[in-house]
């Protein structure tokens, strides 16, 4: 079974992914695949965005982020460069681990077209305030950084994947101790609908 996990910035996807990992799921963290894609496409990224995004011979995610999160056209340019690499990596993992329980953790799951590989998708919902507090605590990069990330994802919605697969919602605005039960209940529901 392949389940997609998606939701906005700092909604709590990692905590939910940990619950799936405890239940034997192999986790594909698409964001981490982005690091690999940045290395693989370093020359093209430097040509497109300039040498200011290269620090100590590597693509600086911070410098690149300052450019792309403020400019939707630049963000699209970056996505055209790195998304094919990331999607290819996901496809390779799915082939190698065919028959296993896999969770694809990706904020922009539907945007990348990865939902088509999923038997079900889970959208993690959390209030704006909870996400903002989590961003400030976790990333420690200031309120303007957090708000720019949140604004860049304003078009992300839970219904983007419904044309392909059933989408389930986990509300993560409450007590973190309730997450194991929420994951267990959704897994039972998904298994009965297979």
Name the region of 87 (left: φ>0; alpha: ψ -120 to 50; beta: rest): alpha
Nearest 10 degrees: Cα torsion 96, 38, 105, 128: 180
Return all residues near 119 (Cβ < 8 A) that are at least 6 apart: 1, 2, 3, 165, 190, 194
Where do the H-state alpha helices sit in the chain?
13-22, 30-40, 42-49, 61-68, 72-96, 128-139, 143-152, 179-193
Q: What is the pTM of this model?
A: 0.81
Angle at 71 between CA 44 and CA 56, to 5 degrees: 40
3-state secondary structure of 66: helix
Q: Return the ∠ at Cα 128 (arms to 137 and 179), rounded to 5°.
A: 75
State the chain's maximal CA–CA distance in angstroms. Answer: 53
pLDDT of the chain along its 194 residues, tens only?
A: 999 999 876 677 888 899 999 999 999 999 899 889 999 999 999 999 988 889 888 998 888 888 887 788 998 999 999 999 999 999 999 999 999 999 999 988 988 999 999 999 998 887 666 666 666 666 666 565 656 665 556 665 555 555 667 888 888 776 667 778 888 888 888 888 76
């Amino acid at each position: 079974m392949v389940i997609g996990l998606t939701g906005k910035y700092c909604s709590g996807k990692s905590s939910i992914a940990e619950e799936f990992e405890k239940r034997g799921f192999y986790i594909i963290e698409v964001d981490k695949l982005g690091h690999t894609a940045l290395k693989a496409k370093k020359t093209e990224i430097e040509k497109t965005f300039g040498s200011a995004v290269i620090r100590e011979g590597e693509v600086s995610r911070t410098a690149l982020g300052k450019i792309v999160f403020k400019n939707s056209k630049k963000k699209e340019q970056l996505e055209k460069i790195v998304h094919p690499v990331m999607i290819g990596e996901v496809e390779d993992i799915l082939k190698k681990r065919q028959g296993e329980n896999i969770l694809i953790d990706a904020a922009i799951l539907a945007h990348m077209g990865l939902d088509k590989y999923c038997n079900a998708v889970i959208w993690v919902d959390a209030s704006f305030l909870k996400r903002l507090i989590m961003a400030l605590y976790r990333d420690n990069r200031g309120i303007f950084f957090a708000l720019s990330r949140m604004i860049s994802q304003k078009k992300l919605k839970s219904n983007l994947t419904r044309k392909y697969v059933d989408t389930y919602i986990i509300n993560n605005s409450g007590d973190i101790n309730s997450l194991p039960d929420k994951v267990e209940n959704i897994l039972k529901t998904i298994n009965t609908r297979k």
